[in-house]
Structure 1
Amino acid sequence: MLLYEFFKNGRVKRYCFPISILIFLILEGLLIFAKISPYENKISSLIGIWEGFAEINPYLVDPGFVVFRSGGYDGQFFYFLAKSMFTDTNWDLILDSYFFRLHRIGMSFFLGILSHLFGFVNYPFIAILTLTFLFLFSVWALYRLLPEDKKILSLFYLFSPFTMNSNLLLVADGLFTSFLVIGIYFHFRKKPSYLISAFFLLLAVFTRELGAIALISLAAYHITNKNYRLSLYFLFPLAAFLCFLAWTRTISPNHLGTNPLGFTDMVDLPLFGFVKSFYDEGVFHLSGKEAVKLILFLQFFAVSLYCTHLTYKKVRNSSSLVSLIKDQEWILILPILASLGVILFAEQGYWRSFDNLSRMFTMILPLFLLLHSLKQNLFSRFFLGSGILLFLFLILRITWITSGKEYYLSP
């Protein structure tokens, strides 16, 4: 009854949005406390620094930061890159894969500027506050983009298990998604601000290369509508990113990485990674914790069918290629299809980890909500409904399932 009053006919009461934000902030705070409490309540534990990388980059780890003896995570690489850029003129950091990390420099650069101003000892505070602020800004942007009778859908994004998990890991997927949604908002709001849109999409593509798909889509949209000047707004960030990629290949770091991965090391045949993730030394296994992987697979399947059906209808009903490209919905569909492609060809290491796999859905959800607000079916409803289950699983995983790891504080 309470929810019905808040969201009568899908329309959100004016007081509901701030109440929802407050609930989100309380929940995020509780989950942060649950994650850091086994480690003397040190918020630096969110970074996930492994002692192996701490030992080979000793000058980069701030005193008193939590260092795990095993089981670090990707948040450490964004931290190392940020601190190296602003404090280490020799650029002699050692990561697991130098070029792979470097071309996703957006988050490290953005947080590095703030940490340089306020001190890198405050990096984890700065990171979680910045990620949360920009995420809430993107939630507001999505809320504004949704039709009046579909505003309730913004809650699915506000309580996204994918963004919540990404932000609590201090990795870039949530930030990339926030930049992307904000960029799309400034492009499609009633009074468009194309330069601001291009700026946020510039930040997005430097944070994660999938932003290039949105830039190409927007540039093609404006070219087919003969708005050539506007197309340049979105071609420039793309050109800047390509130039940056070329530049990174010309510099010679002191160390290419402890495990310099190539493209073929991170991909497999379609869904072979999913199948292989159930086998160890030829023996099939499926534990209770791994069952969540099946939900994520079904979500992948549902979104794939939804987008395939939508694409087929658009192609069939289009009179020409130009009219097809003019359809604004491609700006939402193509980035989703690109993310689905990443999941489709992901090697088994991604499928074995909830953290790795769930991050791949981070960008899909808000764009999918905009499509769902226009055209919904059984597949779209399943994707959103199962997302609620995943959010509950994430809470249980953080508060109950995941146990503490052995650690020490950096001297």
Structure 2
Amino acid sequence: MFEFISKIFQNEKLKSEWINVLGNPKLVTVIFIILYSFSSFCVWKKYSWSPSSQINFGKEFADQNKEQTPPGAIVFLGEEGNLGAGYDGQIFYYYSRMLSGFSLDWPNGFETSFRAPRIGYPLLVSPFGWFGMNATIFGMYILNLGIFYLSYLAIRDLLPDPKKYLSAFYLLSPFALGSYILLVSDTVMMGLSILAYWSYIRKRFIIFSLFAGLAILTKEQAIFLFFPLGLMTLFQKEYRKSIWVASSLLLPGAWSIYLRTQFPEWTPGSLGHFFDPFGGLLGYFGELQQAIVSGDLNLILLVKKFSRLPLVLLLLSGTYLLFRGDWKKGLVFRIGFGILLLTAYAGGYILYWATYENVSRMFTFSLPLLILWEKEDDTIPSGTYWVLTGIILVSFLIKLAFVSKVLRHLIW
């Protein structure tokens, strides 16, 4: 399959036509607006046209945080055996509401081990909350879209003219779109990381330190860029730059010290509980085998089970890329890309590979890392990775429009 896709990309005429289309920023921006508007339309129409439907409030947590749950919000009841816990967007909403009130009283019902360190996203949303609970919801939309589009302009600015078309892959990422649909932190983390890297390249180091620190505080995956970047500055004996890269840890470090005083049981090592090397993949393959052997012809159920298969192929394609190209070029991004793939291999089944949403979010940061890697190295055979990403985007849109059913819910 990989060889077939590679042959398609060797068609120079077809490749040239695609590059011309993707290299047009106005056209790509229009596609971006249509794509995100259509995706929100697919969700809102199922839930009384309420923007709160993308927050994914769960009744279990809404009941415990009644004063901060906005009237009229869509609150999910859950399915059989599920208490209606909703999804991660509500965590950032309640976290932000806490900060909007200049309080550090942790929202009821949420554990702190890996939620509390991720203050970056709710902190940036919190000023919107001064204007009310619905303003917090719209702030989450604005922050996701605004930072993401600004980072698109930044990554496009970093690319040389012949490669500016690669920035379109960034803006039309299925993983960024999936993060937006759930209003979670992945796209915000990625956008802040790219803005930080742009500031680093432009030698605006104070801005870099601020953006990089906020990116790490938003989600730990940001380290996949800054850790190898710091190693490279040490290797090249650019010690002044090494100090600036290290300064990105000041904000996360200070917040971690505070958390240790408030939640003595909290430790950065708690994140390790979510990883089970190859356990997630093996669990998913077992799930597929069971579906095939059972002979269940429920089309929607089969589509859901096989929706993660393109992600497995993407993981294999990315692994292939790690051993290709010029090892003297783009080493920062090769290392970061490799660490990201390792986390995908190590992701456990229950918390990652059991659901499309969880495991797909692990690949969000792979796209800017690959784009920046390709900026440095012309010899990377990335065509298969980009085609698979396109297939995942189309599949995600089909899922939104036709497969995803209306979940049990109430209007708060």
Relative to the length of structure 1, the TM-score reads 0.85
What is the aligned length?
Answer: 381
SS of residue paired to 1:277? helix
1:38-61 residue CA offsets vs partner (Å, 9 max, x unmatched): 111010110001001111222221
1:319-377 residue CA offsets vs partner (Å, 9 max, x unmatched): xxxxxxxx6x2332232222212211111121121111111111111111222342344
1:152-203 residue CA offsets vs partner (Å, 9 max, x unmatched): 2222111110001101210000111111112122222xx4322222222111
1:124 correspondence with 2:137: yes
Aligned partner (choices 253, 274, 277) of residue 266 of structure 1 = 274
Is contact 1:143-1:151 (8 Å) kept? Answer: yes
CA-CA distance at 1:8 after TM superposition: 5.6
1:28 correspondence with 2:36: yes
1:156 correspondence with 2:156: no
Q: Quick check: 271-280 or 296-305, which moved more?
A: 271-280
SS of residue paired to 2:45? helix
Is contact 2:214-2:251 (8 Å) kept? Answer: no
Structure-1 separation of matches of 2:127 and 2:214 = 14
Which amino acid in 1 is paired with 2:314? Q
Trace 1:160-239 onto structure 2 (pairs within 5 A). 160-188=173-201, 191-239=202-250
1:277 correspondence with 2:284: yes
1:73-106 residue CA offsets vs partner (Å, 9 max, x unmatched): 1101111111122237471422442121011111
Is contact 1:184-1:197 (8 Å) kept? Answer: yes
| Identical residues among aligned pairs (%) | 24
Q: Identify the residue that residue 343 of structure 1 maps to in structure 2.
A: 344
Is contact 1:69-1:406 (8 Å) kept? Answer: yes
Is contact 1:7-1:13 (8 Å) kept? Answer: no
- Cα–Cα, structure 1 residues 59 and 376, in superposed 2: closer, same or farther, change >3 Å? farther
Aligned partner (choices 358, 375, 380) of residue 378 of structure 2 = 375
Is contact 1:47-1:79 (8 Å) kept? Answer: yes
1:107 correspondence with 2:121: yes
Aligned partner (choices 107, 120, 135) of residue 148 of structure 2 = 135
CA-CA distance at 1:382 after TM superposition: 0.9
1:49 correspondence with 2:57: yes
CA-CA distance at 1:107 after TM superposition: 0.4
Q: Quick check: 397-406 or 226-235, which moved more?
A: 226-235
Relative to the length of structure 2, the TM-score reads 0.85
- Cα–Cα, structure 1 residues 301 and 95, in superposed 2: closer, same or farther, change >3 Å? farther
- Cα–Cα, structure 1 residues 156 and 97, in superposed 2: closer, same or farther, change >3 Å? same
- Cα–Cα, structure 1 residues 247 and 342, in superposed 2: closer, same or farther, change >3 Å? same
- Cα–Cα, structure 1 residues 108 and 7, in superposed 2: closer, same or farther, change >3 Å? farther
Structure-2 separation of matches of 1:9 and 1:408 = 45
Is contact 1:46-1:124 (8 Å) kept? Answer: no
SS of residue paired to 1:67? strand
RMSD, aligned α-carbons: 2.7
Q: Identify the residue that residue 38 of structure 1 maps to in structure 2.
A: 46
Which amino acid in 1 is paired with 2:226? L
Aligned partner (choices 306, 320, 340) of residue 305 of structure 1 = 320
Aligned partner (choices 328, 352, 355) of residue 353 of structure 1 = 355
Structure-2 separation of matches of 1:196 and 1:6 = 37
Which amino acid in 1 is paired with 2:223? A
1:394 correspondence with 2:396: yes
Is contact 2:149-2:171 (8 Å) kept? Answer: yes
Is contact 1:44-1:124 (8 Å) kept? Answer: yes
CA-CA distance at 1:406 after TM superposition: 1.6
Which amino acid in 2 is paired with 1:197? F
SS of residue paired to 2:66? coil
- Cα–Cα, structure 1 residues 266 and 6, in superposed 2: closer, same or farther, change >3 Å? closer
CA-CA distance at 1:113 after TM superposition: 2.3
CA-CA distance at 1:242 after TM superposition: 2.5
Which amino acid in 2 is paired with 1:406? R
CA-CA distance at 1:114 after TM superposition: 2.7
Is contact 1:201-1:237 (8 Å) kept? Answer: yes
Which amino acid in 2 is paired with 1:397? K
Is contact 2:324-2:380 (8 Å) kept? Answer: no
CA-CA distance at 1:248 after TM superposition: 0.8
Structure-1 separation of matches of 2:289 and 2:22 = 54
Structure-1 separation of matches of 2:22 and 2:263 = 56
CA-CA distance at 1:246 after TM superposition: 2.9
Structure 1 alignment gaps of length 5 or more:
318-326
Q: Identify the residue that residue 308 of structure 2 maps to in structure 1.
A: 293
Structure-1 separation of matches of 2:410 and 2:18 = 53
Q: Identify the residue that residue 91 of structure 1 maps to in structure 2.
A: 105
SS of residue paired to 2:307? helix
Is contact 1:11-1:151 (8 Å) kept? Answer: no
SS of residue paired to 1:101? coil
Structure-1 separation of matches of 2:170 and 2:244 = 28
